[in-house]
Chain A
Amino acid sequence: MSQHSFTVPWAPRKPRRYTGVRGLIVAIARLAYTVFGPIVRRFPSACFFGAVLTVILAVWAHALLFQFAEDCVNSTKYDINRRDSGVLPLLGTEYPLTIAELKNGLAKPTAAKGAGLPSAVAGVLAYVVWIAQFEQARDLAAIAGIIGFISLVPMYTIWWERKVAGRIQSRLGPMRVGGWHGWSQSLADGIKLIGKEDLIPEGADKPLFILGPYIAFVSAICAFIALPFGTYWVFRGLDVALIFILAMMGVEVIGVILAGWASNNKWSVYGAMREACQMVSYEIPMGMALLIPIMCAGTLSLTGIADGQGAWAGQKDGWFSWLAFHNPFTFAACFTYYTASLANCKRAPFDLPESESELVAGFHTEYSGFRWSLFFFAEYASMFVVSGLAVILFLGGWHSPLPASWGASLPDNLIGRALEGVLISGPLWFIAKAGFLLYVQIWIRWTLPRIRIDQVLYACVQVMLPLTMVLLFCNTLWEIAVTQSPTFATLSGLLGYVLGLIGAVMVLGFIGIMLYGRLHRWRLVGKLGIKHFPGS
């Protein structure tokens, strides 16, 4: 008998054989594990950062491809004979270019682009561009991107949250799966969740029980329709983007309420009621706090608001042009909005709907498996959305703290544009800033205790609402009186610089505390932690 074999009193179960599509999926999964397993085990951190870099480059390549297709269709740069003809059935698109036209046009040398492409390359590229010229292809790529993003964000935010929670509580958090600091822990959890039994309680209202998670998840995805990541990085640049996103956040609550109600469990109903009550009350201060930057920017379009902050009124540049430092009231509104948004996506200290210690798990007590994880996808996606809104409305959107005017001096080629995207303004900056705000949400969750429901409502109705109203009123006066008058314009500008400096001191203080903590980490955790910390 070998070391691992032992007898059990029951008949051994035969391993389950998967056939058909499931069999294919299982085969792919096994193949992926066999191929990537050893590599991940050998170079865990390189795999993680390599994957991040690959995703970024792939997204950029996709953007370049669609830009190229647009150039082919519109400009005279690529001398392609256009033929005005028919309409593709069902797609409803006029097809501007055929494959033959593309092949000829790409291979032909012109004055604008120099020598033509080799015919083999042009032949392959023609097919790609032919697909990419359709709006529907762009939309499909964008939808795939949104769904991919909305799947990755919760996975890695949950992993990050567990790591941060671990560090705050002098633990390590997940360390094993994937090698480098347990980076694929959430992936393993996801696979486990898919494999779990799908339980629906007997007394539950079955259709509503099933519907609840979908409403929450789909509306969280829908918020990304109007959320811009960059000037051109938006699925649909609605002129009412802000209202649309707020509406989607409101609709998400319906899913939670239905789930709590349909579970037929008193804890779930308590959770749902708290959610409804918290949501309808905090929507008001949140919406009013959002009105303040809108009043300064003069548009509801998120792209317009963020682009206006690159070079505010043509005077300030970079960090000081951000709306948070525009006047004292936007500075204060930034914090009131952030507090209300915590309540809005039910994060601690406002996580009463799912308070584990009193209501088991609140509205999702009865959920298991993938239905349960849909709620978490929705929650973490909406955390990203509210952070993104804060970034766009207060913290300069996708602009870096560096002055936007520096970007103009960079050369207009591929390298210059890449440098501008990394250094001056681009989706990476948006994601980084929103990621920082996500981190603050996590930090708050593991620092502050949960408050009681009456305290939640007191904080909303008697503290936040009057405060936001005062801010809104004062901001109106400020915008009418101070900004418009030449006498006070200088004062207002100076005040903006002072506020910007306060903000800078806060960020630098944060970084300083972080470095101090890192230098003195032996005080926080034991030897085990030091051994596993990066760089030690």
Chain B
Amino acid sequence: MRAKEHNVSPHAATPQGRKNLAHGASRGLRGATIPPSPVGAEEGTCVHTPLRGSDVAAQREPRACALGYLLSPLTGLVRARRTWFTLPVLFVGVLACPVIAAAGASGPETLKIVPSELPEAIAFYAFAGVAVVSCLGIAVTGNIVRMATWLFATLGSVAALYFLLAANLLGAVQLIVYAGGTLILIIFGVMLTSKSPWARFDAKRGELIAAGVVCLVLFGALAMMLTSTAWPQGDPTTPTMQENASVATIGEALLTTYLLPFEVASVLLLAVMIGAAFLARPEKE
């Protein structure tokens, strides 16, 4: 009798049940229910929703934003949740950048890498690769918190690029303002507002097309600007360049030559702060 009952028990039959048995938490439960979502969920609404967003998301239309549709192969990989396949591909993509960089040593004169700068070049291209790959990650990920994590990788690697180019102030400010401040506020906002921990970023087709067009135009403009600008050539490690990039020089420039833009920016921030305080103040009775 006991053995029979044991046979029909869902725990033994489904892999989900077996996992739960091993976990011990839901040993007495019939269905494989996982405790409800931590935030925002009203009682009872979330109990029967599978928490793994992947289970439902795999059947849904792949809701990727912006570049997602432009990069259908990668989106497809993410849709199928073959992370075991996607991650190595991304990893190889990152590793390929230093190889390309090394190959650049035998390329045209402007791209030629001096052997003594090879470590810096490898680090530069590796961080550039991380920045590009994590940007794609932001575009193709549906989960907002994961998007924020990819964004963190992007901001961090861009800061690392600044440090490699001896722009210490810019790198540190990038980290403290964007990675340490803005990003935390984004995640904080998601935590406060989202209805479920697996909230996905849904974009409509029209929005995607509009975003894609904007991205393309922006990309074209940036590429044109990059190729047409005559960039100043200089070794960032020389004393003059170090002097130019130092905090003292930048601070002096901000408070003398560029005083007006600096003050306009602070007035803008003040306006934002007043606006936020106005929106957040309690309503009068």
Q: What residues make up the interface of A, taking CB atoms closer than 8 Å to B?
A: 87, 89-94, 201-203, 205, 207-208, 211, 215, 238-240, 243-244, 246-251, 253-254, 257-258, 261-262, 264-266, 268-270, 272-273, 276-277, 279-280, 283, 300
| Docked CA distance A430–B35 (Å) | 49
Additional A-B contact list (16), CB under 8 Å, known A87-B116, A207-B83, A277-B188? A92-B115, A92-B118, A201-B23, A203-B52, A205-B145, A205-B197, A238-B172, A239-B168, A240-B169, A249-B180, A261-B145, A265-B38, A266-B38, A269-B38, A276-B188, A279-B184
Specify the chain A residue showing the minimal Cβ separation from B155: A251
Specify the chain A residue showing the minimal Cβ separation from B118: A92
> A92 — which chain B residues lie within 8 A by C-beta?
115-120
A300 contacts B247, CB within 8 Å?
A: yes
| Docked CA distance A239–B246 (Å) | 7
Consensus secondary structure, chain A interface: helix
B115 contacts A89, CB within 8 Å?
A: yes
A250 contacts B149, CB within 8 Å?
A: no
| Docked CA distance A258–B187 (Å) | 9
> A205 — which chain B residues lie within 8 A by C-beta?
143, 145-146, 197
The answer to the question of B39 belonging to the interface, with a C-beta cut-off of 8 Å to chain A, is: yes
A264 contacts B247, CB within 8 Å?
A: no
Specify the chain B residue showing the minimal Cβ separation from A242: B172
Task: Please give me the 8 A-B residue pairs with the lowest Cβ-Cβ distance, nearest first.
Answer: A250-B180, A247-B175, A266-B38, A247-B176, A243-B172, A269-B38, A276-B188, A244-B172
Query: Considering the complex, which residues of chain B in the window 98-122 have a beta carbon less than 8 Å from any beta carbon of chain A?
Result: 115-120
B184 contacts A253, CB within 8 Å?
A: yes
Query: Considering the complex, which residues of chain B in the window 145-194 have a beta carbon less than 8 Å from any beta carbon of chain A?
Result: 145-146, 149, 152, 156, 168-169, 171-173, 175-176, 179-181, 183-185, 187-188, 191-192
B115 contacts A87, CB within 8 Å?
A: yes
Query: Considering the complex, which residues of chain B in the window 41-59 have a beta carbon less than 8 Å from any beta carbon of chain A?
Result: 51-52
Q: Name 16 A/B residue pairs within 8 A (Cβ), A-sorted.
A: A87-B116, A92-B120, A208-B145, A208-B146, A240-B172, A240-B247, A248-B175, A249-B180, A251-B175, A261-B191, A262-B145, A264-B37, A269-B38, A276-B184, A280-B184, A283-B180
> B39 — which chain A residues lie within 8 A by C-beta?
266, 269
| Docked CA distance A81–B118 (Å) | 28
B116 contacts A94, CB within 8 Å?
A: yes
| Docked CA distance A479–B176 (Å) | 27
Kindly identify which residue among B37, B117, B168, B185 contacts A238, using a CB–CB cutoff of 8 Å: B168
Minimum Cβ distance to chain B for residue A124 (Å): 29
| Docked CA distance A208–B152 (Å) | 12
Given known A250-B184, A253-B180, contact A273–B191 (CB-CB < 8 A): yes
> A243 — which chain B residues lie within 8 A by C-beta?
169, 172-173, 176
B19 contacts A202, CB within 8 Å?
A: yes
B179 contacts A240, CB within 8 Å?
A: no
The answer to the question of B20 belonging to the interface, with a C-beta cut-off of 8 Å to chain A, is: yes
> A280 — which chain B residues lie within 8 A by C-beta?
181, 184-185, 188
